[in-house]
Structures are given as structure tokens and as C-alpha cells.
């Protein structure tokens, strides 16, 4: 009957490495998601002036922010709901989220009531709807490509971890 010799040190080394690797994976995932979110946020901010939004001060772009899920499982790029914006001369206010939605999807224009013959509408085109600029939609097209690039980067880091293990063995 053949006897085999089993080196327990190698086995222990493997399990220590495995435990360390498993501990690193959530951190790698969080780093990858954060990098994806930052890249998509930058793409949204770049799309705002490209799509024709008149934002010379960068105010609309500054409202856009990235938030990460509490357990690090997802990333969201959306307008900040905290800032209040004055939208009329009389002092009416709304949130930055609403203004971003109006710019993204478009909004209606109040039509003249027809009661006053002297009233001349400010909008000479007689349109009743302002078309949206769709900067989120355009950024969404590149978001998948950005996410794949960051996922590849995270996988490269994971392969480096395994390559380091194999080099030590």
C-alpha cells in the first residue's frame, strides 16, 4: 500500500491566503463601484454643456452628485435634493432636483389666456413645450462602457493578488 506525505504548512498557507483574499474582495468591489460612480458623474457633468444647457457658472453641474449604497452594493448619480433654487423674480422656489428634471426631460410653457388683447407672449414660436436636453440619457450610453472598464481593473487587481500567492508558493 502506497503512503503519501501531506505537508500541512502548504495547506495552512493556502487557507490563510484564501481568508485574506476573501477579506479583500468587498474592498475591491467598493473601490470599483466608487471609481465607476466618479467616472459616470464626470460624464454627466461633461454632458450638461455639450447638450446645450446654459450653465456658465457650473451651477447645474455642481448639483449632480454620486451616492453609494449603505452596504457598498450600488452607486447612484443624481441631483442633490438639498439645494433650494429661486426660479422666478417673485421669489418662488423649487429644489435643484426639480430643475434638473425639467432640464433633462423638458417642461411645458403656460399659454396666454387670451383675455388681454395687449398681451404678447414672450415665446414667439408658439410652442407649448420646451424639449429636454437629455444629458443623463446621453451619459447613460457611456455608463456601461465605463462600468466594464472599472470591472476589468478590479479583476486585474484580484488576479494580481492570486499571482502574488502563486509566486510565494
pLDDT for the residue 127: 72
pLDDT for the residue 101: 94
Q: What is the DSSP string of 27-78?
A: HHHHHHHHHHHHHHHHHHHHHHHHTT---TT-HHHHHEEEEE-TTSS-EEEE
pLDDT for the residue 24: 81
pLDDT for the residue 2: 64
pLDDT for the residue 18: 80
CA distances from 153 to 30, 75, 144, 146, 147 (A): 13, 17, 14, 11, 10
Q: Alpha-carbon distance 153 to 159, whole Å?
A: 10
pLDDT for the residue 35: 92
How many H-runs (helices) and E-runs (strands) does the chain carry? 4, 6
Strands 84-86 and 75-79, by their bridges, are unpaired
pLDDT for the residue 162: 81
Q: Alpha-carbon distance 167 to 157, whole Å?
A: 15
Query: Which sequence spans correspond to the domains of the chain?
Result: 13-110+127-168
Q: In the chain, what percentage of residues exceed pLDDT 70?
A: 86
pLDDT for the residue 98: 93
Low-confidence stretches of the chain (pLDDT beneath 50): none
pLDDT for the residue 112: 66
pLDDT for the residue 169: 60
pLDDT for the residue 123: 64
DSSP state of 112: P
Amino acid at each position: 500500500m502506497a503512503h503519501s506525505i501531506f505537508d500541512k504548512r502548504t495547506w495552512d498557507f493556502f487557507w490563510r491566503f484564501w481568508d485574506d483574499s476573501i477579506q479583500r474582495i468587498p474592498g475591491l468591489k467598493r473601490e470599483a463601484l466608487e471609481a465607476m460612480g466618479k467616472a459616470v458623474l464626470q460624464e454627466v457633468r461633461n454632458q450638461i454643456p455639450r447638450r446645450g444647457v446654459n450653465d456658465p457658472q457650473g451651477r447645474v453641474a455642481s448639483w449632480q452628485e454620486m451616492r453609494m449604497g449603505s452596504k457598498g452594493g450600488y452607486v447612484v448619480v443624481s441631483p442633490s435634493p438639498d439645494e433650494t433654487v429661486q426660479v422666478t423674480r417673485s421669489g418662488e422656489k423649487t429644489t435643484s432636483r426639480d430643475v434638473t428634471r425639467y432640464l433633462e426631460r423638458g417642461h411645458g410653457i403656460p399659454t396666454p389666456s387670451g383675455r388681454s388683447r395687449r398681451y404678447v407672449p414672450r415665446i414667439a414660436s408658439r410652442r407649448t413645450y420646451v424639449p429636454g436636453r437629455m444629458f443623463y440619457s446621453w451619459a447613460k450610453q457611456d455608463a456601461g462602457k465605463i462600468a466594464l472598464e472599472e470591472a476589468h481593473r478590479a479583476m486585474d487587481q484580484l488576479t494580481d493578488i492570486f499571482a502574488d500567492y502563486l509566486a510565494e508558493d
